[in-house]
A = this chain, B = another copy of it.
């Protein structure tokens, strides 16, 4: 009998669900004991994901348990379902005294009105907003440790917030006029069958989308405003890359008078000292998305364009791992008293 802690996963047919199953397959302290999918119930996980054959979760039967049943079997449940569905499930599970890591956006935005404006739907479980902790370990480790409900950060926000916090928190850059030019791999578009995500529509091409209107904007502004200690607005814009995984955010800021690159580099060193998952690259080295592939790393590079006095910050993550399921596992590790890095120690897959 395993003495790993039993956990459940609701929603396994999307890429974040698939990624959670992959990570949990090699986790020494967590055991995936329940996998939920309306569409695939009755099959074994390896029937829909043959790559999981021969791993622990492969043989697991996909089922459709009630919240109560889930709670009786699991100490923690990961929700990899669409927003709105997530808020209801999270609430039901919390009522059954099981911990929840919600990968949707439902509990990320502290302000109900802001959520409702950007997501164009009513927040029906707003009474849970206060207890929800924003699951970015570098900023909220202590709160996560004692949380019952963690709102797992969005992929783009993870890169933008980790990239900007050190300089905003220390007042090294102007808080207005920040531009975040982000590029994401196609797994970020989900696993739904739609023409725009077909291989022949994405491959060998590149395009922008959702300029100035992406739903991750309020999440980014909320956390950056907290870091800066003042409300700020960013121009956040997204592009689709013909790669499976990876986000690179190129962030344009203006250096405040009296600051220099050395001070900036010291700020990053100080902020992320001892953090296992943030790698501040040496001067002259710029991040590549493949260097973080399959891992929880966030690689950060900073460049000073002295002709225009702009500080350019580059932040790269794997959108499925650090930007979703890997971060969810770190949060679960913290909530359950495990080693934070458990299950996430494989080096990046290169090439």
Contacts and interface: CB of A to CB of B under 8 A. Distances in A.
A286 B15 contact: no
Contacts of A279: 53-54
Interface in A199-231: 199-209, 211-212
Interface stretch (A71-79, A102-110, A159-167, A291-299): A291-299
Interface in A252-291: 252, 276, 279, 281, 285-291
A59 interface: no
A312 interface: yes
A342 interface: no
A349 interface: yes
A46 B186 CA distance: 25
Contacts of A234: 308
A15 B55 CA distance: 27
Interface of A: 15, 18-19, 22-23, 25-26, 49-55, 177, 179, 181, 183, 186-187, 191-195, 197-209, 211-212, 233-235, 237, 239, 241-246, 248, 250, 252, 276, 279, 281, 285-294, 297, 299, 301, 303-308, 310, 312, 314, 345-351
Given A54-B297, A191-B198, A206-B243, 9 more contacts: A22-B349, A22-B350, A49-B350, A50-B299, A51-B350, A200-B244, A207-B288, A212-B304, A241-B242
